[in-house]
Amino acid sequence: MTKSRIAAIDVGNDSIKAIFGKMDYELNIPNIIARDTEDRPVIGIEELDEKNPLEGIHIKVHSPALKENNAIYRIGHLATKSQNATELDPGSSKSEEDQTLIMLFATLALDAARAENKNTFNQTKNVIDANYTLGTGLPLREVKEGKDAGYRSRLVGNVHQVEFLVTPKYQGIKVNIKFNEVKVYPEGFAAYINLVMDNDLKIINKELIDKRILIQDIGGLSTDIAVIKNRNVDDDKAQGFNLGVSESLEAIREEIRTKHGVELDSRMDVVEIITKKNDRNHIMVKGSRTSVHDITDRILLDLAKKEYRLLRNVWQKNSQTEICYFVGGGAIVLKEYLKTLNNNLDGYNIDFFEDEKESIWMMANAYYKLISDFARKAEKQQEAKQPVKN
């Protein structure tokens, strides 16, 4: 029987968060791609094998699931240096974008190619045959529209190949990716699972179990508000909105470029300026420390007001709600603005995760808990079917 490795992957609009195996490996890669040619110029080619593969992901992707097949891409940090770099646009559907699949396949290939996995997958010369049991998710809005079934069908039953081109350590390696199983979870449900259960799906937050809860997950391109009642997500009342932080981050990036002449590589650079511990909302302009507080405050406060309006509307329709948890990368960016608005306006019972990593990795952690539980149960069923030896 082919070995299948567990993968839990949150294809976030700003970055990919992935957990593999028995939580033995994590990946976090900016969700940025750029079309490229086969031979990219490298300074110091002889040092290529000493560099971190994540700094130079250069691949060709072959998959029947893609609209543009056999294309070559720079991925993540390397893509930020390209003039033609693309990030997911507001209004796009994660389930229908090639970029979502390209990032997913690249992330899996980066795990499969690691030396630590040489006994997990079969390798013939430079070709690795990798099999994964994947847990991932889509925004609530897309799941309610039934797009999860189509997304899953594009993954299962096909072979997806990633060929590493001029990539440190992995140059010349091809990874054939197959899926033993793919589970696509709604993001709001996943956030609830992560709040109340541990890795074995045992309840850890008993005080939350029977509460009426809202979970407002603010992402790059969308906001999901899950309504939790009687230990379940109320599918009818849960809502997804085409509102996220990406457009505001892009506006900040553009205004910094126009006003200060400073080019920032990606939205992640903007997030770092907004959230860093020291010198928050400051950039260097011609070597001088310069405040961009006026730009960030104006744009982010405007977005926070829109997010707060969503909260107010959903809470009014679910008046017996006891608490709302804000999660996701967008919640970290908007936390102080939302707290201030709430104190000055309605005074709802709201909460944030002080541990920023926990908030950002919440979806990936939830997918890991769910897919691990599925794999354990599948393994037990398989064992039960085995004939008893005398």
User: Residue 326: how many CB atoms within 10 A of its CB?
Assistant: 23
List pLDDT tens digits, range 97-137.
999 999 999 999 999 999 999 999 999 999 999 999 999 99
Lowest mean pLDDT among 89-103, 201-215, 366-380: 201-215
Please, how many CA atoms are within 13 Å of residue 374, restricted to the half-sphere of its CB?
22
> For position 11, what pLDDT does the model report?
93
Is-contact 258 266, C-beta < 8 A?
A: no
- Give the distance from CA 296 to its chain's centroid: 24
Structure confidence at residue 46 (pLDDT): 47
Residue 2: the pLDDT is: 64
Which among 261, 319, 320, 329 has a CA at the least distance from the CA of 290?
A: 261
Overall average pLDDT of the 80-102 stretch: 85
What pLDDT sits at residue 205?
Answer: 76
125 located within any domain? yes
Asked, for residue 148, whether it belongs to a domain, the answer is yes
| Average per-residue pLDDT for the chain | 88
Domain annotation covers residue 268: no
Counting the structural domains of the chain, the total is 1
Q: Which CATH number goes with the domain that contains 42?
A: 3.30.420.40
Residue 177 lies in a domain: yes
Residue with the bigger pLDDT between 81 and 308: it is 308
Q: In 3D, which of 86, 60, 37 has the Cα closest to residue 170?
A: 60
Exposed, middle or buried: residue 54 (CB in 10 Å: 0-12, 13-18, 19+)?
middle
The whole-angstrom separation of Cα 290 and Cα 255 is 14
Closest CA to 219 of 99, 147, 327: 327
Neighbouring C-beta atoms of residue 288, cutoff 10 Å: 7
Is residue 44 scored above 70 in pLDDT? no
- Is 352 a domain residue? no
* Tens of pLDDT, residues 164-176: 998 999 999 999 9
Task: Judge whether 342 lies within some domain.
Answer: no
**Contact criterion met (CB below 8 Å) for 57 and 76:** yes
Nearest in space to 92 (alpha carbons), one of 219, 215, 217, 183: 219
pLDDT of residue 143: 87
Q: Is residue 26 part of a domain?
A: yes
Q: What percent of the chain has pLDDT over 90?
A: 57
Q: Count Cβ atoms below 10 Å from residue 143 Cβ, excluding itself.
A: 24
Return all residues near 221 (Cβ < 8 A) that are at least 6 apart.
13, 88, 89, 90, 91, 92, 94, 242, 244, 246
Residue 273 placed within a domain: no
**Sheet strands (E) in 45-156:** 57-62, 71-75, 122-124, 127-138
Per-residue pLDDT, 1:
46
Q: Is the pLDDT of residue 208 over 80?
A: no
The reported pLDDT for the residue numbered 115 is: 92
Q: What is the pLDDT of residue 388?
A: 59
DSSP 153-183: HHHTT--EEEEE-S-TTTTT-EEEEEEEEEE
Give the pTM: 0.87
Q: Which domain holds residue 112?
A: 5-185
Q: pLDDT tier at 158 (50, 70, 90 boundaries)? A: very high
pLDDT tens digits for range 275-330: 887 888 899 999 999 999 999 999 999 999 999 999 999 999 999 999 999 988 88
CB 375 within 8 A of CB 133: yes
